């Protein structure tokens, strides 16, 4: 987990407020200070770079087991660097998360996002990657910004779909 490059990426994502960036980094700090804990798992994608240039961080995903559930996971954070948007980075990150969940017996994934246009295509991304719109709470984030709750079921590895 490369905290400096994660902080750099978060600062580039316009839709994240400074408070949201701080919370995203808190999860990274929790992970770094509790290496044995599975609460917040991170998957990072680095882009190719000609050496000796450092590989830029193209995107990252943070998810974890939802407490008090048998096999539900929360997708807490997902972001692609503005330089790599629409090149399949987030799709590959979600697929990597799903492989991990499948490998640990499968389960439900829950993700919440806002309906406001500024949410950077998140709603269209989840619609396009097999998530179901499970619930909507009008005016949740702001009078014109609803909460949309998406879910996706991930089968156990080797299970029939």
Ligand X SMILES: CC(C)(COP(=O)(O)OP(=O)(O)OC[C@H]1O[C@@H](n2cnc3c(N)ncnc32)[C@H](O)[C@@H]1OP(=O)(O)O)[C@@H](O)C(=O)NCCC(=O)NCCS
Rounded-to-integer distance, Cα 116 and Cα 65, Å: 27
Minimal distance in Å, beta carbon 88 to ligand X?
5
Coil, strand, or helix at residue 130?
coil
Exposure b/e, 37-46, CB count within 10 A at least 16 = b: eeebbbbbbe
Q: Is 86 in the site for ligand X (CB under 6 A)?
A: yes
Rounded-to-integer distance, Cα 125 and Cα 89, Å: 11
Size of the site for ligand X (CB under 6 A): 23
Binding mask 6-45 for ligand X (x = CB under 6 A): -------x-x------------------------------
Q: Is 128 in the site for ligand X (CB under 6 A)?
A: yes
Contact 99, 155 (CB under 8 A): no
Choice from 28, 65, 113, 115 touching ligand X (CB under 6 A) = 113
- Which residues are CB-neighbours of 34 under 8 A, at least 6 positions away? none
- Choose one: 62-70, 100-108, 118-126, 133-141; the region binding ligand X (CB under 6 A): 118-126
Q: Is 60 in the site for ligand X (CB under 6 A)?
A: no
Q: Which two tokens stand for residue 62?
A: 């943070």
Minimal distance in Å, beta carbon 109 to ligand X?
13
Residues of this chain that interact with ligand X (CB under 6 A) are: 13, 15, 59, 77-80, 85-91, 113, 119-122, 124-125, 128-129
């Amino acid at each position: 987990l490369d905290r400096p490059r994660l902080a750099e990426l978060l600062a580039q994502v316009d839709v994240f407020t400074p408070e949201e960036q701080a919370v995203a980094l808190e999860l990274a700090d929790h992970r770094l200070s509790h290496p044995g804990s599975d609460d917040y798992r991170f998957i990072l994608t680095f882009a190719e770079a000609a050496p000796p240039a450092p590989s830029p961080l193209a995107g990252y995903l943070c998810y974890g087991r939802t407490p008090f559930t048998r096999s539900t996971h929360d997708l807490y954070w997902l972001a692609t660097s503005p330089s790599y948007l629409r090149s399949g980075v987030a799709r590959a990150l979600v697929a990597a998360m799903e492989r991990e969940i499948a490998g640990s017996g499968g389960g439900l994934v829950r993700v919440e996002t806002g309906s406001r246009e500024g949410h950077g295509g998140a709603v269209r991304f989840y619609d396009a990657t097999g998530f179901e719109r499970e619930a909507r709470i009008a005016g949740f984030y702001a009078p014109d910004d609803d909460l949309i709750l998406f879910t996706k079921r991930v089968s156990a590895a080797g299970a029939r779909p």
